[in-house]
Amino acid sequence: MDNKAETDLTDAQSAPPAATDLVAALQAVLPPHCILFREEDTRPFECDGLSLYRALPAVVCLPETEAQIQAVMRICRKLNAPVVPRGAGTGLSGGAMPHPQGVLLGLSKLNRIKRIDRDSATAVVEPGVRNLAISEAAAPYGLYYAPDPSSQIACSIGGNVAENSGGVRCMKYGLTVHNILRVRVVTIDGDIVELGSEAPDAPGLDLLAVFIGSEGMLGVVTEITVKLLPKPACAQVLLASFNSAEAAGHAVTRIIGAGIIPAGLEMMDRQAIHMVEPFVQAGYDMDAQAILLCESDGTREEVDHEVERMEAVLGAAGATRLQVSTSEPERLRFWAGRKNAFPAAGRVSPDYYCMDGTIPRRHLARVLTAIEQMEDEFGLRCANVFHAGDGNLHPLILFDSNKPEETERADKFGVAILELCVQVGGTVTGEHGVGMEKINQMCVQFSREELDTFLAVKRAFDPRCLLNPQKVIPTLARCAEYGKMHVHGGELRFPDLSRF
């Protein structure tokens, strides 16, 4: 930042600054086209992919360089202004919802792929680069970036780092945290720190892992070194039908138990199949109560061998029909059904609410049965489409928001699912983040001591809690108000769900 800007800064104060003061301070360090503060300009930034939560920011900054980000952070620190970082705005938990008195810091202009290194199979990229763009740039070298959230055409790698995004492939190839080697970060003080390294492991505390998935609460990432993988020579998908979701759940456990790690292991229940098939014509078995999609990738020989083993395990687990893709177009068609499940839900129901709980795999069958019972209880349909191999559920609760009473039931249904996940030893979110949406459920997931530990680590990076405030970590007051208690160690954590 230039010296003029530094001397223009007023002293620290305890309340957030007036919007005009904030804008004036920012105008001293950013070119005019990088600052938006008129309502018609800030309106497009009022929410992310979860449009339920909206707010207009005091100002939107769209910096073009790391030095500009440092300057913005120093101003915010000095003026006590909240900072909400934003990637491509595709997040599903309100993590990028603006603070009305703060800066919405958009990173879309930092979108260069700086280096692709074929020998070390790494790429150095800026945070605004789209997930899929990395794989496209690496393709000439026979490499790709593995994590594939369903928004991968649009979402940015910086957002993936903030949310620790997953995807279909993450069972075999890991989450974002397993595919990032190093990040360069601007702290709230405007300092630069680098976390992680290109070499395996790193001395000292593993702050790279704590940064990945920190939902914009610890710092702003300006450069990312990602791992690239050799593109598998071929891939095939196996479609297996089952007479019950329970049987499909058990089949998942048996595949993993056989030591097979598929490159994708997805489940769709009857509701989801009937929602998707008329829309996509993927070739799904309309008579099945549940289907599994099991992908194998590798060399020709590896795929042949693995597909054969999966057929044997699925057959023994009671599959009523088995289809193996015989060509690349057929493989893509089989996947098209899964990948279009969300739009398909929009076709059969005015609204849907997508949950993101995870559970230990061994409880898959039990939890699916419980969700079925909840459909009756809440009087709403729920389609299940999810990363079965990871135990990462995406129940889609179908409802009509024009009927307020139905919205309320959908909300309660969602909460009941998430709390059931916690009850069986799972979590309230797998890959979509906590953000605004699941902050109450964090009271159920964690004890007060655990939330205090989160908060202490948050403060280690950001003592005044200016970075993405009032998200992710609930206060004691909020948990008291929510009125749900966390109890460690017992099998049943909330008696009211003990019937499932």
What residues between 177 and 216 interact with a copy of itself by CB under 8 A?
177-178, 187, 191-195, 197-207, 209-210, 212-214
Among 283, 318, 346, 425, binds a copy of itself (CB under 8 A): 425
Please report, as residue ranges, which positions from 104 to 133 form the binding site for a copy of itself (by CB under 8 A): 117-121
Residue 497 lies near a copy of itself (rule: CB under 8 A) = no
Which DSSP state fits 387?
B
Which one of the spans 56-64, 78-86, 147-155, 453-461 is the region binding a copy of itself (CB under 8 A)?
A: 453-461
Instruction: Tell me how far, at minimum, the Cβ of 191 lies from a copy of itself, in Å.
Output: 4
Q: How many CA atoms lie within 13 A of 399 on its CB side?
A: 23
Chain residues 460-479 in contact with a copy of itself, contact rule CB under 8 A: 460-461, 472-473
476 and 448 Cβ atoms separated by less than 8 Å:
yes
Among 77, 86, 338, 458, contact with a copy of itself (rule: CB under 8 A): 458
- Of 153-161, 368-376, 446-454, 491-499: span binding a copy of itself (CB under 8 A): 446-454
Judge contact between 105 and 72, C-beta under 8 A: yes
Q: 34 or 185, CB closer to a copy of itself?
A: 185
CB nearer a copy of itself, residue 163 or residue 406 = 163
Near a copy of itself by CB under 8 A, which window of 15-23, 27-35, 58-66, 250-258?
250-258
Q: Which is nearer to a copy of itself, 232 or 346 (CB)?
A: 232
Give whichever of 271 and 358 is closer to a copy of itself, judged by the CB atom. 358
What's the angle, vertex CA 253, arms to CA 251 and CA 257, rounded to 5?
115
Which is nearer to a copy of itself, 87 or 166 (by Cβ)? 166
Pick the stretch among 2-10, 30-38, 323-331, 437-445 that binds a copy of itself (CB under 8 A): 437-445
Q: How far is the CB of 118 from a copy of itself (least distance, A)?
A: 8
Q: How far is the CB of 150 from a copy of itself (least distance, A)?
A: 16
Tokens for 277, please give them. 């098939």
- Answer for the pair 56, 43: CB distance below 8 angstroms, yes or no: yes
Q: How would DSSP label each residue in 245-304?
A: HHHHHHHHHHHHHTT---SEEEEEEHHHHHHHHHHH-----TT-SEEEEEEEEESHHHHH
5-20 as b/e: b if 16+ CB within 10 A: beeebeeeeeebbebe
By the rule CB under 8 A, 434 interacts with a copy of itself: yes
Tokens of residue 182, six digits? 């190093």
Is residue 421 close enough to count as binding a copy of itself by CB under 8 A? yes
* Rounded-to-integer distance, Cα 445 and Cα 100, Å: 29
Q: Strand 321-324 and strand 234-242: pairing?
A: antiparallel
By CB under 8 A, is residue 309 in contact with a copy of itself? yes
Exactly one of 450, 475, 480, 487 binds a copy of itself (CB under 8 A); that residue is 450
- Say if residue 374 is exposed, middle or buried (CB neighbours under 10 Å; 0-12, 13-18, 19+): buried
Q: Does 302 bind a copy of itself (CB under 8 A)?
A: yes
Q: Say if CB 393 and CB 436 are below 8 A apart.
A: no
Site string for a copy of itself, 210-249 (x = CB under 8 A): x-xxx--x-----------xx-x-----------------
Number of residues that bind a copy of itself (CB under 8 A): 83
Cβ 286 to a copy of itself, closest distance in Å? 31
How far apart are CB 189 and a copy of itself at their closest, in Å?
A: 8
| Sites for a copy of itself among residues 33-62 (CB under 8 A) | none
Nearer to a copy of itself (CB atom), residue 456 or residue 477: 456
3-state secondary structure of 152: coil
| Least separation in angstroms between CB 301 and a copy of itself | 5
Residue 267 makes contact with a copy of itself by CB under 8 A? no
Scan for tokens 């290109």, then name that residue. Answer: 198
Helix H or strand E encompassing 106: strand 103-106
User: Could you tell me the two tokens for 385?
Assistant: 């489409």
Which one, 56 or 234, has the nearer CB to a copy of itself?
Answer: 234
Run of H or E including 401: none
Nearest to 253 by CA among 324, 297, 314: 314
Q: For residues 345-404, which are near a copy of itself according to CB under 8 A?
A: 358-362, 390-392
Provide CB contacts within 8 A for 356, sequence distance 6+.
Answer: 92, 93, 392, 393, 394, 428, 429, 430, 431, 432
Please tell me whether residue 419 binds a copy of itself under the rule CB under 8 A.
no
